[in-house]
Amino acid sequence: MSHLHLPTPISKKFFTPGVIVLSVIALNGIIFLLGRFFFGIGSVTNLNDQFPWGIWIGLDVAAGVALAAGGFTTAALGHIMHRDKYETVIRPALLTAMLGYTFVATGVFVDIGRWYYIWHPLVMWNGNSALFEVGICVMIYVTVLYIEFLPIVTERFIGKVNLPGFLSRFNKFIDRLLRALDRGLSKTMFVFIIAGVVLSCLHQSSLGTLMIIAGPKMHPLWQTPILPLLFLLSAFSVGFPMVIAESLSASRSFGLKPETEVLSSLSKFIAPLLGIYLIGKIGDMVIRETFVYLAEINFISIMFGIEIIIGVIVPLRMFLSPEVRKSPTGLFIASMLVIFGVVMNRFNNFVTAYNPPYAVESYFPSIGEISVTLGFVAIEILMYRLFVMIFPVISIPSTKANIKTKYAIRGVAK
Amino acid sequence: MSQNRRDFFKTIAAIGAGGTALSAVTPKKNIAAPENLLSTERKGVLVDTTVCIGCRKCEWACKGAHDIEQGNYEDYQNDKTFETNRRPSAKSLTVVNQYFAEETPATIKLQCMHCDHPACVSACIVGAFSKVENGSVIWDTDKCIGCRYCMVACPFQVPAFEYEKALDPKIAKCDFCYERTKVGKLPACIEICPVEAMTYGKREDLILEAKRRIKNYPDRYYDHIFGEYEVGGTSWLYIAQKDLVSSVFPKLGNNPAPGVSESIQHGLFAYFVPPIAVYALLGGIMWLSKDRETKKENT
Ligand code: SF4
Ligand code: SF4
Ligand code: SF4
């Protein structure tokens, strides 16, 4: 790379028309959320004894976990395999994962009936439960993500602690604390980085184990003993598309030049990953002979078709083409399709495929459920915007002299 | 957490099973399900649907025994109720429905089946469900976080949830009248039944009794005891005049419901061997690829 890329806090106005629209969506979600806490889950959702899980689990949690996969896939590539040129995308991916998982946890918090007992899995263990495994891994991983983010915080504030008024007497002390933290972290960070990748592999696959216990309640097109493997493979394939889509949106939103070079070389990994996933998915279908369910055209087969064709096959073909990989628009569209495909897949596994034996009517999310889900997405985007304005996350071309480079999370300077 | 004897055996068995489960995801019955340490003394109920007269006294008594609003007993004598196919719910832990087998009506009582290898017990994130010595599957209000995974898991779709409650919503299902049987009483529904459609006793004895009835009255019974083998066996057993019962319940095989998921679970984790192996592998890759770094670390 010819010029210097330095992660820098973005200085732009926070409020734009887009931000105002997002705030309205967020506010609307929060109002319905309050309803859920004051009047019970039943007052806001369409859930019932036949359909205990809806989009709060199927989208907010299951799809949310998958879409945060950019964090561990880029960490594996950049830090573990030491492909230095991808350093610039690691910080944004880390931030997305951190915010993503925070919202997954919040999603769980609002969905469970007894939210004040959310800490119970920490002390009450049931190793047979797939949900327990997911819960514990996610809890530890969120902690790891926050630790991985700490160096960015110390980098931002070391030598710049400047508290107002009487608090200023603590400035020196906090600065020293930050420096000590920074030194400690840079020596131990590799432990957390590897742990983060291992934990991700574990809970991404355990997420797939979740619905297996539903047995015949789940449509055979999706119900298979290899669900954990399929979930892991699809998480692998959605990681980089998330990073690409997010990087392109951020550079457009902040008026920066897209990092097409890095992104298009990152995109080379996507087609093979999607290919492996597709082979798993189709192979499983052939072995279990579930393709018979595709013979008739109904809601189920249409949903399956959309998931596979639009969400996997089309983007797979696109990522094989060098022209697509070179153009920001092509990259963006293809990445969005993969993201759409994985969201569809999680939604299908948890909602479409679930067919309780005594259902009187089918489940469709209520206005309240949809509002809360959209509200979460809006708040997450707003938080992302806020974070990249405060912390050095996004790399922008810089002419500044070489700064001290640090192992791991620290930005690159070349 | 109290590590009781059962858990200990479970752990030992699972360590052995881990290796096997890794190589084959297909469940093996004895490996996968909660280990077969069921008490041979466990109780059950034989429901003889040919005897049931559909008076719904059991529904009424069950509510009484569980502090649920009962209403007037007379209101239960309404044939209109049978027009809808009801399900057990938080307001009624058991329901009696009417079904038709070739024009002949039959009434069948539904409630939790108290599976021998319960999916709800396996699924519950915090272990709020447990299968106890006397065969009951019971729920602990002090543990449950209200995630409703047990509802997703139960093959009979039994557990219900109090969706309308903002605080302390409960998972509700028949608890085999655990509080009553503990002190030697009969379950409320069985005690009240005027025609003795249900027999309470040792599960083993009930199976013998059911076989005896089927053998002695071949015209009266269809030759199948529902619950003897379904999903690995249940504490509640049904015999009926026609092949009715198996159409009332969902089509389920004889493998324990938690089988597949537990063997995958134990395969993925297998007492931390796979995660640690992955950790070591990644650490190795990280160390070996260090040279790729153009710059030396300066720490
Ligand atoms: S019927 Fe359902 S709730 Fe009852 S023991 Fe079996 S799995 Fe659990
Ligand atoms: S709702 Fe309660 S009992 Fe059911 S699985 Fe969740 S924690 Fe366990
Ligand atoms: S055993 Fe008890 S809880 Fe279960 S249906 Fe009968 S009365 Fe109700």
ipTM of model: 0.89
Distance in Å, CA B39 to ligand 1 centroid? 18
**A362 DSSP β-pair partners:** none
Burial B86-110 (b: 16+ CB within 10 A, else e): ebbbbebbbbbbebebeeeebbbbb
pLDDT, tens digit, for every residue of B198-254? Answer: 999 999 999 999 999 999 999 899 999 999 999 999 999 999 987 777 788 888 888
Structure confidence at residue A370 (pLDDT): 96
- Tell me if B126 CB under 6 Å of ligand 2: yes
pLDDT, tens digit, for every residue of A171-208? Answer: 888 888 888 888 888 888 888 888 889 899 989 999 99
pLDDT, tens digit, for every residue of B53-73? Answer: 999 999 999 999 999 998 888
Confidence of residue B259 (pLDDT cuts 50, 70, 90): confident
Ligand that comes closest to the CA of residue A131:
2
Chain A nearest-CA distance from B199, in A, is 27
Inter-chain touch A113–B164, beta carbons under 8 Å: no
pLDDT, tens digit, for every residue of A392-402? Answer: 998 887 655 44
pLDDT, tens digit, for every residue of B96-147? Answer: 999 887 778 889 999 999 999 999 999 999 999 999 999 999 999 999 999 9
Q: How many helices (H) does chain A have, and how many strands (E)? A: 17, 2
Give the residue, by CA position, lying nearest to ligand 2 atom 8.
B124
User: Which of B149, B143, B148, B111 lies closest to B130 in space, CA to CA?
Assistant: B143
Which residues between 309 and 328 in chain A have a beta carbon less than 8 angstroms from any beta carbon of chain B?
A: none
A405 near B CB under 8 A? yes
Closest chain A CA to residue B277 = A198
Rounded to an integer, the average pLDDT of B164-185 is 94
Give me B269's structure tokens: 């984790």
Cβ B131 vs Cβ B137: under 8 Å:
yes
Distance in Å, CA B171 to ligand 2 centroid? 7
Identify all chain A residues contacting B157, using CB atoms and an 8 Å cutoff. 49-50, 217, 356-358
Distance in Å, CA A113 to ligand 2 centroid? 9
pLDDT, tens digit, for every residue of A354-369? Answer: 999 888 888 999 999 9
Confidence of residue B37 (pLDDT cuts 50, 70, 90): low
- Tell me if B62 CB under 6 Å of ligand 3: yes
Residues in chain A: 414
Pairing of β B43-48 and β B236-239: parallel
Q: Which of B150, B156, B161, B231 to mutate to test the pocket of ligand 1 (most atoms within 8 A of CB)?
A: B156
Structure confidence at residue B269 (pLDDT): 67
Pairing of β B198-202 and β B129-131: unpaired
- Tell me if B118 CB under 6 Å of ligand 1: yes
Distance in Å, CA B142 to ligand 3 centroid? 21
The identity of residue A208, as a single letter, is G
Inter-chain touch A49–B282, beta carbons under 8 Å: no
Mean pLDDT over all residues of chain B? Answer: 82
Q: Which of B1, B250, B289 lies at the smallest CB-CB distance from A125?
A: B1
- The pLDDT of residue B274 is above 80: no
Give me A363's structure tokens: 């489940």
- For every residue of A34-51, DSSP letters joined together read HHHHHH-HHHH----SS-
A contact test, residue of B6, B8, B150, B151 with most A CBs within 10 A: B151
Give me A184's structure tokens: 């400690």
Ligand that comes closest to the CA of residue B109:
3
User: Which of A262, A401, A386, A410 lies closest to A9 in space, CA to CA?
Assistant: A386
- Lowest-confidence pick of A186-200, A272-286, A400-414: A400-414
Inter-chain touch B261–A126, beta carbons under 8 Å: no
3-state secondary structure of B184: coil
Identify all chain B residues contacting A118, using CB atoms and an 8 Å cutoff. 145
Integer Cα distance of B10 and B16 in angstroms: 10
Distance in Å, CA A112 to ligand 2 centroid? 9
What are the contacts of A331-335 at 24+ separation with CB within 8 A? A331/A244, A331/A248, A331/A260, A331/A263, A331/A264, A331/A267, A332/A244, A332/A245, A332/A248, A332/A249, A334/A241, A334/A267, A334/A270, A335/A240, A335/A241, A335/A242, A335/A244, A335/A245, A335/A248, A335/A267, A335/A270
Q: Containing H/E element for A24?
A: helix A17-39
Inter-chain touch B146–A198, beta carbons under 8 Å: no
Confidence of residue A258 (pLDDT cuts 50, 70, 90): confident
Residue pairs spanning A and B at CB distance below 8 A: 210
Give me A62's structure tokens: 């299951």
When comparing pLDDT for A73 and B286, which is higher? A73
